[in-house]
Chain A
Amino acid sequence: MIWLTWRQFRLQALVIVAAVAVFAVLLAVTGPGLLNDWQAQHESFLSRIKFDRINEYLYIAGQALVYAAPPVIGAFWGAPLIARELEAGTHRLVWNQSIGRTRWLVTKLAVTGLAAIAVTGLLSLAVSWWSNPIDDAIDGGQTAGIYNLPRIMPAVFGARGVVPIGYAAFAFALGVAVGLATRRSVVAIAITLTVVIAAMILSPIFLRPHLMTPAEASVIVTADNMRGLQLSGPEENPEVMRIEAALEGSGFWKISEVTVNAAGQVQKTLPSWMAGCGPGRPNAPAAEAAARPPLSECFQRLADEGYRQQIKYYPADRFWALQWRETGIFLGLALGLTGFCFWRIRRDLT
C-alpha cells in the first residue's frame, strides 16, 4: 500500500520537493556569510546588508515560499488525494483488493501528510535559520530598508518557527476532507485554496491576539512619541478620533491602543479643543495657521487633564509561546478534519 501511495504521489511530490530543495540550497550557500557578518559586528548590521540585493531577494522569497507552502500543499497534495480516485472510479478497484478502506486511508494520509509536514517543516527551518540574524537585529532595535518587521508581527510570524507546520497539516487535512466531501478534484482544490488562504489571513486578526493575555502599557503622548493623529468630520470643524503613541523598546507586536481619560474610561473621541492644534488644513490662510497652538502644548494639556494611551502588546519574548499555541490549534483542526475523513470513508461512496 505504501508503494501504491508513493507511486501515485511521486510526481506532485517531486515538483514541490525540488522547488524547496533548490531554495534550501540557495539559503545554505548565503546563510553562513550573513551569520558571519552578524557575529562579527552586531551594530549597524542591517544598514550594512541593506544594499545587498541577493539577501533582500532571499528574505522576501523565503517569506513568500513559507506562506505559499500550506495552501499549495493542501490544494495539490490534499485535495486530489481521494477526490481523484472517486472521480476516476478507481476507489472501486483499490477497495476491493484484500485490504480495507480504513487501512487504505491510513496509509494514504500518513505517507502524504507526513511528507507535507516534513517539507513545510524543513522549509520553515531553513528560512528561520537564514533570517535569524536579521530577526535578532530587528528585535534589538535596528531597522533598515525592507528589514523593519520584528518576527512576532503578523507578516513575519507565519513564516517562522513551527506555525507553518500547523498551517500545512491543517491545509492538507482540509484538502483531503473537502475532496472526500465534494468528490471533485477541481472544486476541492478551489475550496481548499480559498479556505486556507482565508484562515492564514484571519488568524493574526481574530485568533492570535487572544492566544495569550497581552502585556499592557500606559503611555502619555508627547510631540516626540506621537506616531499618528486621525481626524474626521467636516474640514472646517473636524473631530480628533484617535492618536497613536510609540511604545518604548523593540521587537514587540502592538495589538491595540486606546485613549483613556483620568477615570480610566475609554474615549471614542478626544476633547474637541484638540482639533485646533498643530498644523491646520492644507491651503489655509497664513493668519489661521499662525493662530493655532503647537501640538506640544495640546499634548501637555492632554497629559495635565489625565488622558493617556492604553496599549496592549505582545513583547518579543512571547514569540515561541504564541508559536506553539497557534500550531497546536491548527494541528487540532487538522485532527478533527482527519476524523471526519475516517467517518466519511466508512459510509457509502460509489
Chain B
Amino acid sequence: MTAAVLRAAGLGKKYGRRWALTDCNLEVPAGHVVGLVGPNGAGKSTLLNLSVGMLTPTAGSVEVLGAPAGKQLAKVGYVAQDTPTYSRLSVAEHLKIGAHLNPGWDHSVAERRIQSIGLDPKQRAGRLSGGQRAQLALTLGLAKRPDLLLLDEPVAALDPLARREFLQDLMEAVAEQELSVVLSSHLVSDVERACDFLIVLVDSRVQVSGEIDTLLATHYRLTGPRKDQKSMPKDQHVIAASHTDVQSTYLIRTEMPILDPAWSVSRLTLEDLVLAYMGRAAQPEQTGRPLLEVQR
C-alpha cells in the first residue's frame, strides 16, 4: 500500500467554544483525487486549513506527506476558498510571484495553461471573471509542481459550464503530473465527476471515508416487509432506515453477501450514499451503534 498523503489522528479544532472539527481520523493514500463533501459549515475548510498549516490543531495532529502540516510548503499546493488573487496585479505578475516564491516552479506548465485557458497576461486579476480567477489560482497551484494539491471549494462560485471546464482541466493536470488531490465541495455532482475517493464530513465529524468504488460496492438499499432494526444481522451496519406500516427500507453497509430472501436489494448512487450519511448526522444516536469507518 502506498504511503498516506494525508493522515489525521484525533484531529480537532475549536473556535472559541465551538468545535469546527472533532476527533477526525483519516488516512488518504497517495495517487487519489479525493472529494471532501459536506454541507456548508461542516468543517471542510477547517480540515484543509489545518492540513496546510494555516491553522494549528486544538487537539490531535495532522500529517501531510509524512511531515507535520505546514512543514513542506514547496510540496503542497493550496487553492484557498474564493480563490484569492491580487486584484491589482496582472496575470503575468501572478506567474512572476509563483516563479519568485517557488523553487520548483514550472514555467512551461504555467505558460501553457494560461494560453489554453485564453487569459490575457496583461489583464489585472481584479477584472477577471470568477472562473478565470479560479483558473489562475489553479495554475499557480499546479505550476508549483506539488505532490499534493488541496482545493477548497474551487468551483463554488462558478457557473455549471465553468465548473465542468475547471474540473476537466484539473483532471488533465492530475493525469500529467501524477499528483494527489483533495477537493472540497458541497455538491456531490462535482465529486462524482472528478474524484475516486470520498470523505463525507458533517457536523464537524468525518462520517465515512474510502474509495468510491469500494463504498458503492459495499452499500445497499434493502426493501422488504417491515422488520425491526434490532433483528438485523451484526455485519450489516444500518446507515438509514425508514418504515411504513408494512414495509421497511434500510440503507446498510456490509461486506458480506445479503442472504435474507425477504429483501429486495438495490445498489446506491453516490448521491444516495452521501445523503444517507448526511441524514444520519442530523439524527444522531438513532442506531445506538458507533459510527464506523469503511474498512479498505
Q: Size of chain B's interface in residues, with CB distance under 8 A?
A: 32
CB-contact partner of A88 in B54, B76, B87, under 8 A: B87
Chain A residues with CB below 8 A from B78, complex form:
92, 96
Are B73 and A100 within 8 A (Cβ)?
Answer: yes
Are B137 and A93 within 8 A (Cβ)?
Answer: yes
A4-B100, A4-B101 given; A96·B77 CB < 8 A: yes
How distant is A146 from chain B, measured CB to nearest CB, in Å? 44
Are A99 and B54 within 8 A (Cβ)?
Answer: no
Chain A residues with CB below 8 A from B56, complex form:
347-348
CA distance A330 to B74 in the complex (A): 38
A89-B80, A350-B55 given; A98·B102 CB < 8 A: yes
Instruction: Write the chain A residue with the least CB distance to B86.
Output: A90
How distant is B148 from chain A, measured CB to nearest CB, in Å? 12
Instruction: Flag whether A94 is at the interface (Cβ < 8 A).
Output: yes
Are B82 and A350 within 8 A (Cβ)?
Answer: no
Provide the B260-279 mask, 1 if CB < 8 A to any CB of A, else 0: 00000000000000000000
Instruction: Flag whether A210 is at the interface (Cβ < 8 A).
Output: no
Instruction: Flag whether B89 is at the interface (Cβ < 8 A).
Output: yes
CA distance A95 to B56 in the complex (A): 14
Instruction: Flag whether B223 is at the interface (Cβ < 8 A).
Output: no
Are A98 and B74 within 8 A (Cβ)?
Answer: yes
Q: Contact residue range for chain A? A: 20 to 34
Instruction: Flag whether A53 is at the interface (Cβ < 8 A).
Output: no
CA distance A349 to B80 in the complex (A): 13
Q: Which of B91-99, B178-186, B242-250 contacts A (4 or more CB under 8 A)?
A: B91-99
Are A96 and B52 within 8 A (Cβ)?
Answer: yes
CA distance A195 to B175 in the complex (A): 56
Instruction: Write the chain A residue with the least CB distance to B152.
Output: A92
Are A94 and B55 within 8 A (Cβ)?
Answer: no
Instruction: Write the chain B residue with the least CB distance to A90.
Output: B84
Instruction: Write the chain A residue with the least CB distance to B88.
Output: A8
Are B101 and A1 within 8 A (Cβ)?
Answer: yes
Instruction: Write the chain A residue with the least CB distance to B70.
Output: A100
CA distance A88 to B103 in the complex (A): 26
Are B102 and A93 within 8 A (Cβ)?
Answer: no
Chain A residues with CB below 8 A from B81, complex form:
89, 92
Q: Which of A92-114 contact B (CB under 8 A)?
A: 92-100
Are B80 and A92 within 8 A (Cβ)?
Answer: yes
CB-contact partner of A3 in B49, B74, B80, B100, under 8 A: B100
How distant is A218 from chain B, measured CB to nearest CB, in Å? 63
Are A97 and B98 within 8 A (Cβ)?
Answer: yes
Chain A residues with CB below 8 A from B52, complex form:
96
A348-B54, A350-B55 given; A97·B102 CB < 8 A: yes
How distant is A337 from chain B, measured CB to nearest CB, in Å? 23
Chain A residues with CB below 8 A from B55, complex form:
348, 350
Instruction: Flag whether B252 is at the interface (Cβ < 8 A).
Output: no
Are B73 and A99 within 8 A (Cβ)?
Answer: yes
CA distance A89 to B125 in the complex (A): 14
- Additional A-B contact list (11), CB under 8 Å, known A89-B82, A350-B55: A7-B89, A7-B93, A8-B89, A88-B86, A89-B81, A90-B86, A95-B54, A97-B102, A98-B104, A348-B54, A350-B54
11 A-B contacts (beta carbon < 8 Å)? A1-B100, A3-B96, A4-B100, A8-B89, A89-B80, A93-B86, A96-B73, A97-B101, A97-B102, A100-B73, A348-B54
